Chains A and B, each alone.
Chain A
Amino acid sequence: MFISPFYILFAIFGLYPMLLSFYLSFTRWKGVGDMEFAGLVNFRLIPIDRVFWQSMMNGVILFLLYVPIMLFLALALAVILNSGKIKGFRIFRTIIFLPFITNMVAAGFSFRILLEKQHGLINMLLRIFGIPTIPWLESIWWARVSLSLLIIWAWLGYNMVIMLAGLQTIDRDFTEAAMVDGATPIQAFFKITVPLMRPVILFCLITSTIGSFGLFPEVTTLTGGGPVNATITPLVRIYGVAFNSYQFGYASALAYAFFAMIFLLTVIQFRLNREQV
C-alpha cells in the first residue's frame, strides 16, 4: 500500500522509458510522424560512427588525466585534515568543498574567462613571470587538460568529504602504532591508510568513471566539445544525435551501446579490485 504511489510513478518514469528506449533503438524515427521498424540498422551504424568512438575515447583519456590525480589529492587532503594537526580545519574543508555546490554552467564560463588565450588571467600571469603562454582551449591536449582542471576543481571536495568520512571509520591506532614502530608518515599512508580505505576509493573510482563519460555542461560551456571533437563526451554526442538531428531511434541505440560499455567497465573495475585483495 505504501509503495503503490511510488510504483505507479516508477512504472511511468522508470520502467516504461527503459523499455520504450529499447524498442526505439530498433526503429527509424525523427520524433514526429510514423515510426519505421528498422531492425538492426541503427546498431550497424554504431561501429562506423567516428564521433561516437571519439567521444568514448575522450572519456577514457579524461578519466586517465584527472582521476588518479584527483583521488590521490582527495585522500591526501583527507588524511592531512584528519590528522588533527591542522588549525583552521573547518575553513579549509569548506573552501575545498565550495566548488561542488556551484553549477557547472557558471563554473565552465568563469574557467573560460580565466583561460582565455590572449588576455585571460592565467596567461597574463604566465607572461608576467616570463613563461610562454599556453593555448588552454585551442590545442587538443591542452583543452583536455583544461577540462580536467575544471573537473578536479569541482569534484575534489566531494571526494575529499567521502574519504574523510571513510577515514573516521578506520581506527587511528593502526597508523599510530606503525609510526611508533618507526614508519614515516608517508609509509604509513601507503602501507596502511590506502589498503584500509580500499572500498571507499573503489566507490570514488566507480563514480568518477561513470562521471567522466557523462560530462555535459562542463564540456558545452568550457570547450564546446572542441577543438575537433577532442573533448566531446558520449552524453554530448547522444544529446546531439537526439535533439539536434532528431534521430531518436539511432540515439536510443547509441545510448544502449554506451550503457553496455559503461556496465562492462564497472564490472571490470570490481573484478580487478577483488583480485588485488
Chain B
Amino acid sequence: MKRKILKNLQKGSGTIFLYLVLISISVFMVLPFIWMLSTSFKFPPDIFGYPPQFIPRNFTWNNYIYVFQEKNLTRILFNTLTISTLSTLLSLFFTSMGGYGFAKFEFPMKKMLFSLLLATLIIPGAVMMVPTFVIMREFGWVDTFLPLIVPGAANAFGIFFFRQYISTINDELMDAARVDGASEFMIFIRIIMPVISPGMISLGLIFFMASWNNFLGPLIYLKSPSNWTITLAINAMTGGAGLTAWGEQMAMSVVSLIPLLIIFLVFQKRFAEGITAGAVKG
C-alpha cells in the first residue's frame, strides 16, 4: 500500500516535471511575441522604461496609424501578397506538372535529368545569388516582382514532392481516360489535379510562407520603396544608433505576422504535412 502511494507520488511528480518543462519552453516561445505586441502599443519613453510594462499604462494606436499613413503599409502588404500568391501558384503548377512527367512517363535522359535535379537541391543559395542577379539584370527584371516569382517555378523540391505523390496513383484511371480520348493535358487537369490537391495545399502553404518571409531575395532585387515587401519595410525602420523607431517597427512586425498566423491556425494539419513530407520519408 505504502509503496503504491509512493509510486503514484513519483509518477505524479514526474508528470509535474514534464509540465514544468513544457510551460517554461512555452514562455520562452511566447515572450518575444508578447513583448512585440506590447511595444507596438507604447509611446517611445515607455518602450525601455522602468519598471517594464507588459500592458502599456499609456496605451496608443499611434504606431499603427503611423505605419499605415506615413510608411505606405497597405501598398507594402499588397506587394507582399501579390508576390507570395503568384509565386506559390506558379510553383505549384509547374512542379506538379514536372512531378507528373517524372512519375508517369518515360523519356530520353530521364535518369540523368533526375540526378541533375537532385544535385540542385544541395547547392546553397549563396552560389546562385550573383549569377541569378546578373541574369535578372539582363532581362531588365531588377526592381520588378518577377525575380521573386518566376525562378520558384523551377523548384526541385516541389518536383520530388509531387513525383512521390503521383507515383502512388493507379495507372488504370489514366488509361481509362485515354481510351475515352482525353488529351494528356486534360488527364492532368481532371484526374491528377484532384487527387493531389491535398498535397498541393500542404506544399503551397510552405511556398507561401517562404515567400512571405523572404528577406534576401527582396533585398537584392527590390530597390524602390514603393516595390518593397514587408520584411524590407520592417528592416528599413532601423535608423543609426538609437534612432530606430521601435514602436513603429514592432507595429509593422505585428501586422506582418497576422496573415500567416491566420493561415497557419486554419491549416495547421496540412502545414505539418508539408514540413514533414521531405524529412521522414527520405
Q: What is A's interface to B at a CB cutoff of 8 Å? A: 1-3, 5-7, 9-10, 12-18, 20-21, 24, 31, 73, 76-77, 80-81, 85-86, 92, 94-96, 98-99, 101-107, 109-111, 113-114, 116, 118-121, 124-125, 128, 153, 156-158, 161-162, 165-166, 169, 185, 200, 203-204, 210, 213-214, 216-217, 220-221, 234-235, 238-239, 242-243, 248, 251-252, 255-256, 258-259, 262-263, 266
Chain B residues with Cβ below 8 Å from A185 are 14
Given the known A-B contacts A103-B215, A153-B28, are A109 and B97 also in contact in the complex, defined by CB atoms under 8 Å? no
B-chain residues with CB within 8 Å of residue A200 when the two chains form the complex: 279-280
Q: Is the CB of A235 within 8 A of B126?
A: yes
Cβ contacts A to B, 15 pairs, < 8 Å: A2-B188, A5-B94, A6-B95, A9-B151, A14-B154, A21-B130, A31-B134, A103-B231, A105-B235, A106-B257, A110-B253, A120-B48, A185-B14, A216-B215, A252-B131
Q: Are B18 and A80 in contact (CB under 8 A)?
A: yes
A76 neighbours in B (Cβ, 8 Å):
21
Distance between Cα atoms of A63 and B31 in the complex (Å): 24
User: Do A111 and B32 form a contact, CB below 8 Å, given A17-B131, A239-B129?
Assistant: yes
Output the least CB separation between A15 and chain B (Å): 7
Residues of B within 8 A of A21 (CB): 127-128, 130-131
Say yes or no: is B1 at the interface (Cβ < 8 Å to chain A). Answer: no
Asked if B98 lies at the interface with its beta carbon under 8 angstroms from chain A, I say: yes
User: Which 3 residue pairs of A and B lie closest in terms of their CB atoms, listed nearest first?
Assistant: A119-B48, A106-B253, A2-B101
User: CA A262 – CA B124 in complex, angstroms?
Assistant: 9
Residues of A within 8 Å of B132, CB to CB, are: 13, 17
What's the Cα separation between A3 and B101 when bound, in Å?
Answer: 6
Give bound CA distance, A13 to B131, whole Å: 9
Are the CB atoms of B94 and A114 closer together than 8 Å?
Answer: no
Contact A106 B256 (CB under 8 A): yes
Tell which of A85, A96, A102, A118 touches B25, judged by Cβ atoms closer than 8 Å: A96
Decide if B107 touches A98 in the complex (CB within 8 Å): no
B contact residues around A221 at 8 Å (CB):
235, 238
CB of A98 within 8 A of CB of B50, answer no
Tell me whether B30 and A95 are in contact (CB under 8 A): yes
- Chain B residues with CB under 8 Å of A258's CB are 124, 126-127
Q: Whole-angstrom distance between the alpha carbons of A95 and B51 in the complex?
A: 27
A17 to B135, CA, bound (A): 8
B interface residues with partner A (beta carbon < 8 Å): 14-15, 18-19, 21-22, 25-26, 28-33, 35-36, 39, 47-52, 94-95, 97-98, 100-102, 105, 107, 113, 116-117, 120, 122-135, 150-151, 153-154, 156, 159, 184, 188, 209, 212-213, 215-216, 220, 230-231, 234-235, 238, 244, 246, 249-250, 252-253, 256-257, 260-261, 264-265, 268, 272, 275-276, 279-280, 282
Shortest C-beta distance, B265 to chain A (Å), equals 8
**Is the beta-carbon distance between B234 and A86 smaller than 8 angstroms?**
no
In the complex, residue of chain A having the shortest beta-carbon distance to the beta carbon of B159 = A6
A20 to B134, CA, bound (A): 9
**A165-B36 CB under 8 A given contacts A6-B97, A124-B50, A259-B123:** no
Q: How far is the CA of A200 from the CA of B261 in the complex (A)?
A: 27
Q: Which residue in A3, A15, A125, A217 is a CB contact (below 8 Å) of B52?
A: A125
CA distance A96 to B26 in the complex (A): 6
Residue pair B48, A116 in contact (C-beta under 8 Å): yes
